[in-house]
Amino acid sequence: MARSVFGVILILLGILVSFFWSYPLWNEITDVKTKKEETQAILDRINALAQRRDEIQAQFNSLTTDDLAKLNEFFPENQEPGLLILNIDKLATSNGMILKKIEANEGVKGTEQQRSGRSKVDGEKFSDFPFQISVSGSYSSFLSFMKALEKSRRLIDIDNLSFDTGFVGTDGKVVKSDFYEYIISAHAYWKK
């Protein structure tokens, strides 16, 4: 009887020692499994992004030269402020507006700090060209000019729009007419 009790005590002692010895290893194995699952999830996401990148690259490579020209006109490789101003003048004239004044700000770095409403991302792949134009004409002409500007192939972001409804006559009174002056502050963008 003493032998069987001693044998049971040794077996229980062996189970107890193996449990306390293997419990930390079991926790470590569980942690490694969790890290493996997290790493696999990250790897799957990276593979999905790489596949999406390849799909986008294939779509870009399949663009025709006409489509690439349109894309470069929308988001040009360089600043080209003269061409932008000529296009705006052409749009204004064709829609019955008179282009009175153009102010172009060449100091792009200063304007990035002035645009507090926009977030600046490090390593931006584009630059902006801030400009202000003053056009005159009727309200209906202005609406058609704005629609034409919206449909133009150049990316233009309008920041501010103001207008004047009349002018002071020779007698000192404000004369109202259907001819208004509109001042538009905007940004055009190009690739760096």
Give CATH for domain 76-115+124-191. 3.30.70.60
Domain ranges of the chain: 1-62, 76-115+124-191
Cβ neighbours of 41 (radius 10 Å)? 10
Specify the 3-state DSSP secondary structure of 129. Answer: strand
| Contact (CB, 8 A) for 104 and 129 | yes
What integer pLDDT is reported at residue 44 of this predicted model? 96
Tokens for 105, please give them.
Answer: 């700000």
| Contact (CB, 8 A) for 98 and 136 | yes
Asked if the model's pLDDT at residue 167 lies above 50, the reply is: yes
**Phi (first) and psi of residue 36, to 5 degrees:** -65, -40
Write the DSSP assignment of 137-173 as a string of letters. E-HHHHHHHHHHHHHSSS-EEEEEEEEEEEEE-TTSS
Tokens for 132, please give them.
Answer: 């202000």
End-to-end distance of the chain based on CA atoms, in angstroms?
Answer: 91
More confidently predicted of 118 and 150: 150
Residues 136-165 have a mean pLDDT of 89
Query: Poorest-confidence range of 97-111, 148-162, 172-186?
Result: 97-111
User: What are the E-state strand segments in 41-173?
Assistant: 98-104, 126-137, 156-168
123 pLDDT band, cuts 50/70/90, is low
**For 51-91, what is each residue's pLDDT tens digit?**
999 999 999 889 888 888 877 777 777 777 788 888 889 99
What integer pLDDT is reported at residue 37 of this predicted model? 95
